Chains A and B, each alone.
Chain A
Amino acid sequence: MVHKKFIIVCGGESCSGKSSLQIYDNINKELVAGGFRDEIQVVKGGCLGFCGEGPLVKIIPDETLYVGVKSGDAEEIVNSHIKKGKEVSRLLYDRKKSTRNVRLPGTDFYQKQFRIILRNCGVIDPENINEYIARDGYTGLEKALFEMTPDDIIEELKVSGLRGRGGAGFPTWMKWDFTKKENSDVKYIVCNADEGDPGAYMNRSTIEGDPHSIIEAMIIGGYTVGANEGYIYIRAEYPIAIQRLEMAIQKARNYGLLGKDILGSSFDFDIELRLGAGAYVCGEETALLASIEGSRGMPRPRPPFPATKGLWGKPTVINNTETWANIPVILTKGGKWFASIGTETSKGTKVFALTGKVNNSGLVEVPLGTTLREVIFDIGGGIKDGKKFKAAQSGGPSGGVIPEEYLDVPIDFESLKKLGAIMGSGGLIIMDEDDCMIDIAKFYMQFAVDESCGKCSPCRIGGKQLLETLELISKGKGNMEHMTSLKRISEAMQKASLCGLGQNTPNPVLSTMKYFEDEYIEHIKDKKCHSGSCKSLLSYVIDPEKCIGCGLCAMKCPVNCISGEKRKPYTINQIECIKCGSCYEVCKFSAVIME
């Protein structure tokens, strides 16, 4: 029995709550009644994303997506779509409703994501070079070596509008052009795979899923700027990615794609791996280069930029993993094609690692210009447990938070910068109403203090001062002058720090202060943390109305500060309480309240 069509009814949490199971049953009945049981199968699916528009019904292979379906619509779907082959237009997702101002080549049905960087991830066996080759792998290299001059390639990159995906968004063609124009006997190509932002794993997944795309891109880069050696600087904490890269490099050598006289073109290029030693600052390009040279990973002032004086003082192109992964596609499909995706100033796509309090966490690639709302609610399926969205943290420790009122801003390099966050490498952490913004700022500040290399004083001392001030505020010992000093220290760090790490360290503090000033004031003036994250500002009290006097809380209290008589309301001694929350957790009658 072969089914010609399949009807998928979303069985995700949100849709099930809106009676999608009834829809499933009704469609099933209609199919039986219409005699379609042998041709059409209806199934319950996992969450299809897009939860705000549910319940969802998708018909494949037609790729029709029906939204807001009610159980009474089953008959019309079967009668019209299945029987007459006519879509039920009133249930179709109206594409015009989408706020996205991005164009997608070659798609006329609704697509949540668009995959350029992740084109092979989840499709090929990353340990089998033949599959990469079968998927047009190394055709970009062929084109570069045999049909294009280095200037042609730079022109193609210029047309494509590709900008560095490491965070700052510098035009890639310009970087390459600087290095190409340098007169030097030796030049280098470097791939930055030292992904260190908390919650970010875009580079790891790209390399694990498609290592050859990086290798191919680096050979193209070498040919363009006149370099014969490349280094991939990758975190030692990524064992699978390292193993697959090593395997890929070896196979590429065996096939004559790396080494001497590549494909008979008389161009030589080879790649070596360098494992990072676990310091966050080594993701900064000058520190990374120092680390490859065997020195301590510390940044140095720029200029000179690596493009002119990089590895061992030689001109060096250093790009992020994600930037490299775009290069082969730009050559095979053309810069024009690439430039047709995205916004005016930011072309192509961006991979985000969507994590935090979101239902469907995952690796997401969307055209630039997509809004945060689409990423979080249409793809991410909204906030966990039906809670309220509070903010999204973009760009890791160098980034900032984006509050709800800016959810509809199209994501690109400029818009995020304007909001006080940055695109960064692509970590996107979603926070809900239970998250305290002072706590979040503290977390990133602790990270920055741990990871500051200590070379320049604004970063070394400033970060520590910011952290200590935040700690005072979270303990209820803050005053309004602290707000001014947080701002002053932050501004000094931005101006005077040596590298991007120090300059951007204050961003989490500044952006939380900008958008959640009320919350700071609440901590300082009212000595309250309404999310309950700042333990010192909390007090646990027992509601005498609810307490039945079972004594369980007193038994569990590790400091014996709860007292009372059996069958009468107990009380907590606030002076001795260490706010561990044990009483709150054990009370079966919700009589312990957090205040």
Chain B
Amino acid sequence: MEKFNLKTLQAFRAGEKKKFKNKEVQDLTTILVGMGTCGKAAGAAETLRAFSDLVKKSGFKNIEIKQTGCMGSCYAEPTVEVWSPGMPDTLYGRVTPAVAGRIMETHVMQKQLLSDYVYDKPAIDILE
């Protein structure tokens, strides 16, 4: 690809900003699975696969499954964050493949929080 200069990078960033975490405008649900070494050791890869399979099987549109780094809550791995339109950004802990199914059903479809697995987000986002 062509290399960026100052102008093209800034234009590119403006475009990417519109795409990133803009759940209401895009009507998009994002499921982030913490895939650091700690998460993977606790089974995050299976959780990620479970989410992907569920999305494929159900034919949901407007949903993306992504990997991310460590969320810091080692005691509650695997950890997953869900950004869904009309819902507060939510951190879930101890998300096994079975819990993944319940998150899809309760949080994504019914727009309710899934009891027992909600954890507190540790900090505000300094970039928002």
Contact A123–B68 (Cβ < 8 Å): yes
Per-residue contact bits, chain B 90-128, to A (CB 8 Å; 1 contact, 0 not): 000110000000000000001111111111101111110
Main secondary structure of the interface of B (DSSP, over half): loop
Contact B13–A263 (Cβ < 8 Å): no
Which stretch (A357-365, A415-423, A492-500, A533-541) binds chain B?
Answer: A357-365
Give the complex CA separation of A205 and B3 in angstroms.
29
Contact B1–A6 (Cβ < 8 Å): no
> CB of A60 within 8 A of chain B?
yes
Given A46-B93, A134-B16, the answer on whether A209 and B112 have CB atoms closer than 8 Å is: no
Contact A121–B112 (Cβ < 8 Å): no
Contact A44–B115 (Cβ < 8 Å): yes
Contact B75–A362 (Cβ < 8 Å): yes
A12 to chain B, nearest CB (A): 10
- CB-CB < 8 A to B37: which residues of A? 201, 204-205, 208, 238, 240-241
Given A45-B119, A254-B1, the answer on whether A6 and B16 have CB atoms closer than 8 Å is: no
> CB of A116 within 8 A of chain B?
yes
A-B contact count (CB 8 A): 183
Contact B9–A138 (Cβ < 8 Å): yes
> CB of B36 within 8 A of chain A?
yes
Interface residues contributed by chain B, number (CB under 8 Å):
53
Give A187-208 interface residues, CB cut-off 8 Å to B: 201, 204-205, 208
> CB of B42 within 8 A of chain A?
no
Q: What size tier do the contact residues of chain A reach?
A: 35 or more
Given A209-B36, A363-B72, the answer on whether A255 and B4 have CB atoms closer than 8 Å is: yes
Contact B116–A209 (Cβ < 8 Å): no
> CB of B66 within 8 A of chain A?
yes
Contact A133–B125 (Cβ < 8 Å): no
Give the complex CA separation of A122 and B72 in angstroms.
8
Closest 7 CB pairs of A and B: A209-B69, A256-B3, A122-B71, A134-B16, A264-B5, A134-B20, A113-B123
Give me the interface of B with A, judged by CB distance under 8 Å.
Answer: 1, 3-6, 9-10, 12-13, 16-17, 19-20, 32, 34, 36-38, 40, 66-76, 79, 81, 86, 88, 93-94, 110-120, 122-127
Give me the interface of A with B, judged by CB distance under 8 Å.
Answer: 1-3, 6, 8, 11, 41, 43-49, 58, 60-61, 106-107, 111-116, 118-127, 130-131, 133-139, 142, 145-146, 201, 204-205, 208-210, 238, 240-241, 254-257, 259, 263-265, 329, 333, 359-365, 379
17 pairs of residues in contact across A and B, judged by CB atoms under 8 Å: A3-B112, A43-B114, A45-B119, A107-B124, A119-B127, A121-B69, A122-B32, A131-B20, A133-B13, A134-B13, A201-B37, A209-B68, A238-B37, A254-B3, A255-B9, A361-B75, A363-B70
